[in-house]
């Protein structure tokens, strides 16, 4: 989509959003003052007037001032406004004045938005004013009997408004980030806008779902809260018992006797009379309890339960990821750079077989290269062959690695640096620079491939 179209669509969305927050409150006012309820018909006339004005301004501002454009501009401007006026006049002069006033404001804002940035109408204070207006209308529709029939309509408006605001905010955010003088370099990557819009859509749907199931959510949150409270309570009780035991352990007989002579403090009933024995028992009990707590926490919780949970979560997570896994590899070329985009899942998710493969034959590969007519393809084939050889030899070569990454790994092997760097250099030029290799370059690559394979063969 070109920039102009995108800007126009966003402006239309912005105007619509403005209408969505203005219209509900005007409906409330109209019903309150004129006791008229005409459903969404008013809204349609307002909308027609706004879009008509916007289209008219677009035609007027066009560089080619043809008669056709002038006529279209007049038609777009006059017809909707006149029709609206006639419609409003049908309900009386006061209704017409009110309708004209609202239409005039909306048309004025539509004209302004043409000359300003698309986020002009949904920016700064205007966004808060819009939210207050729409919430006010919603409140009226919820709590006043005479407006109740508008509730669903206003809810729909609120959600559409919210969606448009999110989209415009997102897009203006991207523009703000990447359109500054010092940040314009590579521009906004081609699919960044559409990707962001998709994510905003998902985000919005998530909010709608949460709102729809808000009661269920509240119940779940309450249950969770209760669960947490009970866990905390039991923990507190447990600590309390421990503290009491500790208190008894270090308590002196005199104080205990003076406070409550009849109480026994030992674990064993009746043992409370012998303070030394009591203390010994208490110490043993405390140590046993501490040991048990330590063992349970370390062995059971830390060593068993947490890893079990971790693995279970990981397993579920990997299964979900695998479910959505797509074999994605894309190349996007711009004038300045080439992007290779791929989805690389963690290696443990990969289900690639680890069968032992037969080492490919270099002579066979060279014969195959001879059959290839296109020099570019020859280079690609040779490079691919070296990579395949290295992979089967057990080197850490992955499909997701870039040529630079592979070269860095290869550099560690003695003597392989030079021939492989030359192969990589030619390959890069062919693949990303789109250069046609010369005959001697193909020959050199062949000889470098043979050299590389011989060196790789010798490595363990």
Partner 1 sequence: MEILALVIIFLIAIYIQGFLLNLFLFYKLEYSCDFSVDKATEGDNIFLEEIIYNKKLIPISWIKAEIYTSKWLEFAGKDAVIAQESRFVTSNFFLKSYQKTTRLWNVKCLKRGCFEIDKITLVGGDFLGAFSDSSAVIDVKTDLLVYPATIALEQYFKPASRFIGDAIVRRWINDDPFMFSGLREYVAGDALNRIHWKATANRGKLMVKKNDFTTNLRTAVILNIQSRDNEPDEVIDKEIIEFGIKVAATIFDKALKQGLPLSFSTNGNVVNGNEYPIITKESVGREHVNELLTILAKLKLKKVQDFEYFINDVSQNYSNTEVIILTSYLTEEICNTIRKIKSGKNTVSIMLLNAVERESLPGDLEVYIPY
Which residues contact partner 1 (rule: CB under 8 A)?
A: 135, 138-139, 142, 158, 162, 166, 169-170, 172-174, 176-178, 181-189, 191-192, 195-196, 199-200, 203, 206-207, 210-211, 214, 317, 321, 328, 335-346, 400, 402-405, 408, 421, 424-425, 428-429, 432-433
Give per-residue burial for 206-241: e unless 16+ CB within 10 Å, then b. eeeeeeeeeeeeeeeeeeeeeeeeeeeeeeeeeeee
- Which phi and psi (to 5°) does residue 187 adopt? 65, -175
Least distance to partner 1 from the beta carbon of 433, Å? 6
Question: What's the closest the beta carbon of residue 135 comes to partner 1, in angstroms?
Answer: 6
Element (H, E) at 313: helix 306-324
Q: Which residue, 92 or 216, is less far from partner 1 as judged by CB?
A: 216
Q: Minimum distance from CB of 458 to partner 1 (Å)?
A: 24
CB of 167 to partner 1, least distance (A): 10
CB 76 within 8 A of CB 19: no
- CB closer to partner 1 out of 105 and 174: 174
100: exposed, middle or buried (C-beta count within 10 Å: 0-12, 13-18, 19+)?
Answer: middle
Closer to partner 1 by Cβ: residue 115 or 336:
336
Q: SS3 for 14-48, per residue?
A: HHHHHHHHHHHHHHHHHHHHHCCCCCCHHHHHHHH
Q: Cβ closer to partner 1: 295 or 310?
A: 310
Would you say 51 and 80 are in contact if contact means Cβ atoms under 8 Å apart? yes
Smallest distance from the beta carbon of 18 to partner 1, in angstroms? Answer: 19
Q: Considering the complex, what minimum distance in angstroms separates the CB of residue 132 from partner 1?
A: 11
In the complex, minimum distance from the CB of residue 13 to partner 1, in angstroms, rounded to a whole number: 15
**DSSP assignments along 43-85, one per residue:** HHHHHHHHHHHHHHHHHHT-SS--HHHHHHHHHHHHHHHHHHH
CA–CA separation, 30 and 223 (whole Å): 45
Distance from the first to the final alpha carbon of the chain: 54
Radius of gyration from C-alpha coordinates of the chain: 38
Task: Report d(CA 248, CA 250) in Å as an integer.
Answer: 6
The token pair that represents 18 in the structure block = 């403005």
Min separation Cβ 234 and partner 1, Å: 30
Q: Using the minimum distance from each CB to partner 1, give the nearer residue, 182 or 250.
A: 182
Residue number, 342 or 443, with CB nearest to partner 1:
342
CB of 322 to partner 1, least distance (A): 11
Query: Are 457 and 421 spatial neighbours (Cβ–Cβ below 8 Å)?
Result: no
Q: How far is the CB of 224 from partner 1 (least distance, A)?
A: 16
Our CB check for partner 1 shows the closer of 270 and 346 to be: 346
State which residue, 81 or 133, has the beta carbon closest to partner 1: 133
Which one, of 164, 177, 167, 163, lies nearest residue 197 by Cα?
Answer: 167
Per-residue DSSP letter, 399: T
Q: Which is nearer to partner 1, 392 or 413 (CB)?
A: 413
Q: HSE of 35 in the Cβ direction (CA atoms, 13 Å)?
A: 0
248 vs 407 by CB, closer to partner 1: 407
């Amino acid at each position: 989509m070109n920039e102009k179209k995108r800007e126009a669509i966003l402006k239309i969305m912005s105007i619509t959003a403005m209408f969505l927050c203005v219209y509900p409150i005007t409906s409330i006012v109209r019903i309150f003052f004129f006791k008229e309820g005409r459903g969404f018909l008013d809204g349609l006339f307002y909308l027609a007037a706004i879009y008509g004005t916007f289209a008219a301004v677009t035609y007027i501002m066009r560089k080619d001032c043809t008669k056709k454009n002038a006529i279209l501009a007049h038609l777009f401007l006059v017809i909707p406004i006149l029709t609206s006026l006639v419609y409003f006049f049908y309900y009386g002069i006061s209704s017409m004045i009110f309708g004209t006033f609202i239409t005039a404001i909306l048309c004025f804002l539509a004209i302004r938005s043409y000359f300003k940035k698309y986020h002009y109408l949904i920016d700064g204070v205007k966004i808060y004013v819009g939210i207050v207006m729409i919430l006010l209308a919603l409140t009226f529709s919820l709590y006043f009997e005479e407006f109740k029939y508008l509730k669903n309509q206003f809810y729909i408006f609120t959600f559409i408004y919210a969606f448009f605001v999110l989209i415009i905010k997102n897009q203006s955010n991207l523009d703000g980030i990447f359109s500054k003088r010092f940040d314009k370099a590579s521009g906004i990557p081609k699919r960044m806008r559409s990707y962001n819009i998709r994510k905003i859509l998902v985000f919005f749907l998530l909010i709608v779902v949460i709102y729809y199931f808000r009661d269920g959510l509240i119940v779940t949150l309450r249950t969770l809260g209760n669960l947490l409270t009970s866990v905390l309570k039991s923990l507190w009780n447990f600590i309390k018992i421990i503290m009491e035991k500790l208190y008894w352990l270090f308590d002196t007989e005199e104080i205990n006797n003076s406070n409550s002579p009849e109480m026994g403090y030992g674990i064993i009933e009746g043992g409370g009379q012998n303070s030394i024995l009591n203390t010994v028992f208490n110490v043993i009990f405390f140590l046993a309890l501490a040991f048990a707590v330590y063992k349970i926490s370390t062995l059971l919780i830390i060593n068993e339960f947490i890893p079990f949970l971790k693995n279970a979560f990981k397993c579920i997570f990997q299964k979900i990821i695998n479910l959505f896994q797509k074999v994605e590899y894309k190349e996007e070329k711009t004038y300045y750079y080439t992007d290779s985009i791929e989805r690389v899942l963690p290696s443990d998710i990969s289900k690639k077989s680890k069968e032992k493969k037969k080492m490919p034959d270099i002579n066979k590969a060279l014969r195959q290269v001879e059959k290839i007519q296109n020099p570019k393809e020859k280079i690609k084939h040779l490079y691919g062959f070296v990579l395949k050889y290295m992979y089967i030899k057990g080197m850490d070569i992955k499909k997701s690695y870039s040529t630079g990454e592979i070269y860095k790994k290869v550099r560690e092997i003695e003597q392989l640096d030079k021939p492989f760097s030359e192969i990589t250099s030619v390959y890069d030029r062919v693949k990303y620079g789109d250069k046609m290799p010369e005959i001697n370059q193909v020959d050199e690559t062949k000889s470098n491939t043979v050299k590389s394979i011989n060196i790789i063969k010798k490595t363990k």
